[in-house]
Structure 1
Amino acid sequence: MDPDRLRAQILAVYDRTAREGSRPPEGLGFPVGADLARQLGYPPGDLAGVPEAVRGAFVGAGRLAPEVAGPGPVADLGCGAGLDAWILARRGHEVAALDASAAMVARLAGSLREAPGLPLRPVRAVLPHLPLRSGAFRWALLNGAANLVPQRDELLRETRRILAPEGWLLVADLVAVGEIPPEVREQPEAWAWCVAGADPPARWHERLLRAGFSEPRIEILEEFPPLARALIRARRA
């Protein structure tokens, strides 16, 4: 599939989410928005401090903000509505929140009017290209965003570039634990919902090592074959 056409179709899905809030694909009844965040285990206290405009458009694959276990600047890559970015900024982290959807970035920027002085900077950027300074971040997050990027190896190399020595990458996404039919991998909607781009855990491990990360750990959180929800951690070598 042509990458430019695929990107445009994925952006259309997320632009609609920015305008209308989260909703599942047609025919699927899984939770979205704040209900999804609660199901994934975000602490109620964290969610209570986030504007409804951010909670209501949340689309993620795991709870990443609570996994940030130390200080330092954060890059939230493919931030969407900005739930992780907002929670971490409220904790005092300086956060750069990047997304390809202009509507999502505008939604997040608008919500910041409720919290002047919050150290959160929305940035429009099309992954895998990161307009960020090399070595500037202690943490990089990809919550349901890595599977949207066909150029996965380039994305991981760029992510390593922006991390400080010993910085951490945290990824929440779907991984393939069985065979995904080729026709599904050709559907733009399946790409937008992180299904078509899902890699097996072993391939994630290989990609991370090749990109210059060490100590990759892939934790399967929930299986629904041929997919599973996973938390992936790796340190910049």
Structure 2
Amino acid sequence: MTGITGAEQELVELVRQRYASAASSVTAGGERAGCGGAEAESSGASCCGPEPVEVSETFGSTLYAATERDELPVAAVAASLGCGNPTAVAELRAGERVLDLGSGGGIDVLLSARRVGPTGFAYGVDMTDEMLDLARTNATQAGATNVEFVKGTIEDVPLPDAAVDVVISNCVINLSVDKPKVLAEMFRVLAPGGRIGISDVVAEDQLTPAERAERGSYVGCIAGALSRTEYLDGLARVGFVETSVEFTHQAADGMHAAIVRAVKPT
């Protein structure tokens, strides 16, 4: 990334370290103590595989349907750090080309690949080598052949203009230090008539940046969140139409997980 300050570069490195550590934690997981025992069998719990990195009512794999989680390698589910299920909100269709910004362990790319089918394709972009390695392993285990994970930043996506029909992202845009560039890149890589279906943390309009920072850290997806109006204005500024930001559940006081939708004009 160019044109960012020293303080912003420090935030980029903090985010990179946070997600590299999360990927390494999942990769180092393996079987957990007590797996396969009578207690696990009687409870119906699945205790094999790595521990989820983060699971709560706000973040993590519990935001996906059990039927979706059960379709995927346990490491892809364990590495889920998002605040929603963008593959559902984007209403993916067979044959579409999909791009996931900040694809992490690959859960949304793998789900997208299933939704778009063999005539479609799903790309994932991530800046963290550890997450890319994990995602590629998960794709191999899932037998997904219509996917590709590419190293890059969401501010400078390594895909050509009009390369995809849909852009998704799961609680990643709030981590960027140059959100206008991210929004512009989404518009650029979309084909005319393409759309975005994004899950992200969004602040209520009355909260100042300082008040957002009081409610949580930058790497925790809180301090860097845009407000609803900032999101809508930013999308319109780069050319999107039919924009909307819908709050779904609370992430912190005055801040919410949200569904963000918009369309690139034909």
Separation of aligned partners in 2, 1:4 and 1:181: 19
**Residue 90 of structure 1 contacts residue 118 of structure 1 at CA under 8 Å; is this kept in 2?**
no
SS at match of 1:90: helix
Q: CA deviation at 1:114?
A: 1.5
**Residue 124 of structure 2 contacts residue 149 of structure 2 at CA under 8 Å; is this kept in 1?**
yes
Larger Rg: 1 or 2?
Answer: 2
1:74 alignment partner in structure 2? 98
Point out the more displaced range, 110-119 or 95-104: 110-119
Tell me: CA distance 1:181–1:164, structure 2 relative to 1, closer, same or farther (3 Å).
closer
Tell me: CA distance 1:175–1:32, structure 2 relative to 1, closer, same or farther (3 Å).
closer
Separation of aligned partners in 2, 1:184 and 1:13: 20
Q: Does residue 23 of the first structure (1) align with residue 42 of the second (2)?
A: no
Separation of aligned partners in 1, 2:157 and 2:186: 8
**Residue 53 of structure 2 contacts residue 80 of structure 2 at CA under 8 Å; is this kept in 1?**
no
2:163 alignment partner in structure 1? 136
Alignment of 1:110-189 (within 5 A): 110-177=137-204, 178-179=206-207, 182=210, 185=213
Deviations for 1:150-197, whole angstroms, at most 9, x for unmatched residues? 21111111110100111011111111125356286399x811121111
Point out the more displaced range, 89-98 or 175-184: 175-184
Q: CA deviation at 1:225?
A: 1.8
Structure 1 vs Structure 2 CA RMSD: 2.2
Separation of aligned partners in 2, 1:85 and 1:168: 16
The one-letter amino acid paired with 1:87 is L
**Residue 219 of structure 1 contacts residue 230 of structure 1 at CA under 8 Å; is this kept in 2?**
yes
1:197 alignment partner in structure 2? 224
Deviations for 1:29-58, whole angstroms, at most 9, x for unmatched residues? 83688xx322x2x22222111101100110
Structure 2: unaligned runs, 5 residues or longer: 1-5, 27-51
Q: Does residue 10 of the first structure (1) align with residue 23 of the second (2)?
A: no
Tell me: CA distance 1:200–1:183, structure 2 relative to 1, closer, same or farther (3 Å).
closer
Identity across aligned pairs (percent)?
A: 25
Tell me: CA distance 1:48–1:32, structure 2 relative to 1, closer, same or farther (3 Å).
farther
For 1:37, which of 61, 66, 70 is the aligned residue? 61
**Residue 99 of structure 1 contacts residue 124 of structure 1 at CA under 8 Å; is this kept in 2?**
yes
The one-letter amino acid paired with 2:53 is R
**Residue 113 of structure 2 contacts residue 144 of structure 2 at CA under 8 Å; is this kept in 1?**
no
Deviations for 1:72-114, whole angstroms, at most 9, x for unmatched residues? 1000011111111111112313011111111000101112222
SS at match of 1:190: coil
2:75 alignment partner in structure 1? 53
Q: Give every structure 1 segment of 4 or more consecutive aligned residues whose post-TM-superposition deviation is greater than 4 Å.
A: none
The one-letter amino acid paired with 1:197 is G
For 1:98, which of 89, 104, 125 is the aligned residue? 125
SS at match of 1:2: helix
Separation of aligned partners in 2, 1:150 and 1:230: 19
Structure 1: unaligned runs, 5 residues or longer: none
TM-score by length of 2: 0.79
Aligned residue pairs total 228
Separation of aligned partners in 2, 1:153 and 1:55: 30
Q: CA deviation at 1:118?
A: 2.1
Separation of aligned partners in 2, 1:127 and 1:113: 24
TM-score by length of 1: 0.88
Alignment of 1:203-218 (within 5 A): 203-218=230-245
Separation of aligned partners in 2, 1:126 and 1:61: 20
